[in-house]
Amino acid sequence: MIKRVRLKNGRELIIRKAEPNDALDILAYIHQVSGESDYLTFGPGEFGLSQEEEAKFIETVAASDNRLMICAFLDGRIVGQLTLIGGLRPRVRHAAALGVSVLKEYWRLGIASALIESSLDWARASKVIRKVNLRVRSDHGGAIRLYQGLGFAQEGIVTREFFLNGNFYDSIQMGLKIDE
């Protein structure tokens, strides 16, 4: 899976599945992005995987029919990443949790949209994933508008889900049905 996308600034983005040899670059990306945004579920130093563990996780995802990890590259550098993780048990393997991030200097160029659209195309083709879920901080208006624009609907609110700098934040649970 390799997809080329023309961004709003005219540059070409390459989206492809993560490979085990990307592990070190992915960890460097995660280290950077975790310090750039308070909207993620983890902060600097909280990710906690070694290069070997990350490579093994990528292999596990690649071997699964209900999991996906893709990266967005500009000039060979990872600038965005997405995971779509389906459930392990038969009753929930059709439902996948989506997580997406983009380096701050590349926000608002269409990278998150391109990653999500690519993952939804993959989900539809998988014939396994029938529902995509995500959670977003309730004060992250830009992300909420992005998800709504891609067809996600609000399904609930979890109060006090995030705790950051002495403050609690609610999350909005959103979902998208695949091939109804």
All structural domains of the chain: 2-177 (3.40.630.30)
Give residue-wise pLDDT tens across range 65-119: 999 999 999 999 999 999 999 999 999 999 999 999 999 999 999 999 999 999 9
**Confidence label for 120 from pLDDT (cuts 50, 70 and 90):** very high
Q: Cα–Cα distance between 114 and 66 in angstroms, integer?
A: 20
Q: What is the mean pLDDT of the chain?
A: 95
Contacts of 45 (CB under 8 A, 6+ apart): 34
| pLDDT for residue 180 | 61
